[in-house]
Amino acid sequence: MPKDNGKSAGRKGATASAEAAILSKALPYMQRYDSATVVVKYGGHAMGDPELAETFARDIVLLKQSGVNPVVVHGGGPQIGALLEKLNIRSEFKGGLRVTDKDTVDVVEMVLAGSINKQIVAAINAQGGRAVGISGKDANLMTCRKLEKKIVDPDSNLLKAVDLGFVGEPTKVDPYIVNVIIQSDLIPVIAPLGVARDGHTYNINADTFAGELAARMLAKRLLLLTDVAGVLDGQGRLIEKLAIDEARALIEDGTISGGMIPKIESCISVVQNGVEAVVIINGKTPHAVLLELFTEHGAGTLLGKSGDAESA
């Protein structure tokens, strides 16, 4: 048997001390979020990576165990597209947006409220949590109406209305069922579906759904897990903090462009409606949620009224 010269024990001790130091440094951040509601929009490629999905589930369980009230809202665009293709249901696109007809919305509900929702629930439960899956239809959580969308006609260069079918926009949020869930030891996992007054089911953009829910619940944070690091400056560097007026200026000068514009505009609206801050995070970063909430460094771009997490 090889002799132990003490170096191995020393390395283990150093590692243990480093881990303890990390936990100790996390304490003030854990205290900041004690009993607070944090809405997490979970989407992008992180959902399709088994290892990242397991890490995400573990982190959500840790939040609950730490006294935070996590609320998970998930997307599922790629999975919906894959099943539509498998079922030979062709999708029509108008202005780059998928038209959700009756056949398509049935598939959307099957994927969002069915397979994806239950996969996330099972992943959280496998890590020792107690998750329950619902959709915006349950207990009239999210009432909506048909989304009216206008796009620029490439021929006339004029705005024209497009019919996207069963795509909705929220009109009323009743978080009663979510509050009942988070007041127990359960973790809600929510599919972004809504119900209209006529009883029809509508697909709602997951970012929009999460934002409306976070605002209605006056959540301390809304975390948007995406496939990008956050907002980048003109040199491609991550902007860690943004105030509302700064974000608007970056839209005006073109620094924020393309698909990031509606996302930032939605974030501004959410903050103005009572959420302390919204953070855009790269969901492909392991432990991105914990890095954002429980460390001084954060993990993405934080947008608040003043751009400061402490005073947002």
Q: Which amino acid is at 13?
A: G
Q: Taking the CB of residue 310, how many other CB atoms lie within 10 A of it?
A: 9
Pairwise CA distance, residues 267 & 70, whole Å: 19
> Is residue 232 a part of any domain in this protein?
no
Domain that holds residue 117: 71-202
> Is residue 78 a part of any domain in this protein?
yes
- 104-153 pLDDT tens trace: 889 889 989 999 999 999 999 999 999 999 999 999 999 999 988 877 76
Q: Residue 171: which CATH number? A: 3.40.1160.10
> Is residue 59 a part of any domain in this protein?
no
- The answer to which of 40-44, 157-161, 220-224 has the lowest mean pLDDT is 157-161
Maximal CA-CA distance, the chain: 83
* Domains held by the chain: number: 1
Nearest CA to 60 among 128, 106, 150? 128
> Is residue 226 a part of any domain in this protein?
no
Nearest CA to 293 among 89, 67, 95? 67
- 237-264 pLDDT tens trace: 899 999 999 999 999 998 998 878 888 9
> Is residue 107 a part of any domain in this protein?
yes
> Is residue 271 a part of any domain in this protein?
no
| Exposure class string for 198-221: b at 16+ Cβ within 10 A, else e | eeebbbbbbbbbbbbbbbbbebbb
Q: Which amino acid is at 111?
A: V
> Is residue 139 a part of any domain in this protein?
yes
> Is residue 21 a part of any domain in this protein?
no
- Sheet containing strand 193-195, edge to edge, reads 168-173, 142-146, 193-195, 201-203
* Per-residue model confidence (pLDDT) at position 11: 53
Pairing relationship of beta strands 37-42 and 69-74 according to DSSP bridges: parallel
* Per-residue model confidence (pLDDT) at position 102: 87
